[in-house]
Structure 1
Amino acid sequence: MTAPRRWPGRYTDRYGSQEVVFETDGRESIRTTIRGVRFEGDTMDTLGALSGDPPDAMFTFLDGDLCSCLLEWGLPLPVEVAGEGERTATLNCALRLGDPTATGALTEETLTVTLRLDGRDYASGPLDDFEEALERIALALPRGTRLKACVACAWSDYHPVGHAMMAGLACFREAKDVYRLCDGKKGPHGILTIWPRHTEFVQETWLCDQFEHRTSNRGYRNAFPYRGWRPPQS
């Protein structure tokens, strides 16, 4: 895997707004510093203070995780264009985390993702997670243009019980032999059986040198993008 990356971004809440930098290893670690306080989490919606919760006058928390705020960040994302090779697009992300409620939930948690390529924006959201956001963007791209990231890789899959807003995508690049045989959820070649063989967990937007585009005949997941997807009826 490649070296850790730095995503320029912004943090905003009722106390103000400031530019920040998110540092990530592409797997299950995201770090940033906000108002002099160091935060870390597995995903953007689980950022907690490393030294314990700061004073309430500085931030709002739910179960130790930041909330009542807007997190924004951008990152380069490669795409392949048929006949033209690889280009680098920009993926701009915004995660709005609402206020905590008496039931221990948030009033909202919405993700908006926009891919900027050749001066045009392909947007999805507000949604719940990166998988669906990136899939909708992939479906909107011009014919022959494909995302090049772990979410679109032949060797990645999610657990059948579900996954978090981001990350939690299992990479099987060191178990390709068994993953090629995956034929469903259960059974000797089912995803539940081979799950312990996964190499590691990665973020949807990560990428390694063993990337291969995903097709409909690989693993438990559908092809990416899944062209059977339909927008919800209004």
Structure 2
Amino acid sequence: MSGGRFWPGRYTDRHGVEAVFFESDGRDLIRTTIRGVRFEGDSMDDLGALGGEPPEAPFSFFDGALCSCLLEWEVPVSVTVEGQGVRAAVLDCSLRLGDPAGPGRGLNAETLTTTLRLDGREYRGAEGDDDFEDALNEIQRQLPSGVRLQACVSCAWSDYHPLGHGLMSGLACFRTAKDIYRLVEGKRGPDNIFDAWDSRTEFVQETWLCGEFEHRTATHTGYRGPFPSRRWW
């Protein structure tokens, strides 16, 4: 995997705990090895065993993906601090995947927890966040004035599809189609996200970062709006 990054982490289930590394390409591929078995998926809630056959080591699966377990990992991220430039921070993540609820009913629980650690302080996502978009928006709201997350989720050239997205990795990047995306004003009208969608460069993870990054501002909010998003309650 060229240009991949490694996130130190831990896997826990009823059979025990194991330190692991998650390898990510920042787009739609995550790999790890647990108890000697290689897993791969496009999201942390969709890690399946390579080869498609049930491994001999003890695991629980639903629809081919790991479940009944806790995944924990650390992601290095950057923030910009007004007057100080770019600073390093760490995003602690955990995802609890519950048990199968029955045929066609998914899992009985899927709980994401995120905490940004910066300068000895912690900024937590809200309890019950469904995905990384919600979690990182909430963390940004808590950061001190002048401190801004520097990642794909807060970039001027990224957006989501109006029909929704999953836990992570569903963020469309428009860095090679800036002139087209700059015109987007919503999902209806002459300059809508649907007309621009096929011009996207690729899909990326919310915590990724490239050299084309520009902070999302209130002057151009595309379809999904500013970052952090406005509260509606």
Q: Tell whether 2:99 aligns with 1:112.
A: no
Which whole-Å deviations, capped at 9, do the CAs of 1:95-144 have from their partners, x for residues lacking one? Answer: 00000011331010010000000000001133210000000000000000
1:176-195 equivalences in 2 (<5 Å): 176-195=178-197
1:15-30 equivalences in 2 (<5 Å): 15-30=15-30
1:1-234 equivalences in 2 (<5 Å): 3-55=3-55, 58-104=58-104, 105-124=106-125, 125-216=127-218, 217-226=220-229, 228-229=230-231
Write the distance in 1 (CA, Å) between the matches of 2:6 and 2:44.
Answer: 14
Output the aligned Cα RMSD: 1.4
Task: Determine what percentage of the aligned residue pairs are the same residue.
Answer: 63
Write the distance in 2 (CA, Å) between the matches of 1:4 and 1:56.
Answer: 28
Write the distance in 1 (CA, Å) between the matches of 2:98 and 2:190.
Answer: 43
CA offset at residue 53 of structure 1? Answer: 3.6
Write the distance in 2 (CA, Å) between the matches of 1:207 and 1:197.
Answer: 20
Write the distance in 1 (CA, Å) between the matches of 2:84 and 2:57.
Answer: 52
Write the distance in 2 (CA, Å) between the matches of 1:55 and 1:170.
Answer: 34
Task: Look up the SS of the partner of 1:127 in the other structure.
Answer: coil
Structure 2 vs 1, CA of residues 45 and 12 (structure 1 numbering), >3 Å: closer, same or farther? same
Q: TM-score, normalised by structure 1?
A: 0.94
The answer (yes or no) to whether the contact 2:49–2:55 under 8 Å persists in 1 is no
Q: What amino acid maps onto 2:214 in structure 1?
A: E
Q: What amino acid maps onto 1:42 in structure 2?
A: D
Write the distance in 2 (CA, Å) between the matches of 1:136 and 1:183.
Answer: 23
Q: Once structures 1 and 2 are overlaid, which stretch shifts more, 57-66 or 154-163? A: 57-66
CA offset at residue 188 of structure 1? Answer: 3.4
The answer (yes or no) to whether the contact 1:8–1:21 under 8 Å persists in 2 is yes
Q: How many residues align?
A: 229
The answer (yes or no) to whether the contact 1:186–1:193 under 8 Å persists in 2 is no
CA offset at residue 57 of structure 1? Answer: 6.2
Instruction: Note the residue ranges of structure 2 that are not aligned, 5 or more in a row.
Output: none
Instruction: Note the residue ranges of structure 1 that are not aligned, 5 or more in a row.
Output: none
The answer (yes or no) to whether the contact 1:174–1:199 under 8 Å persists in 2 is yes
Q: What amino acid maps onto 1:148 in structure 2?
A: Q
Q: TM-score, normalised by structure 2?
A: 0.95
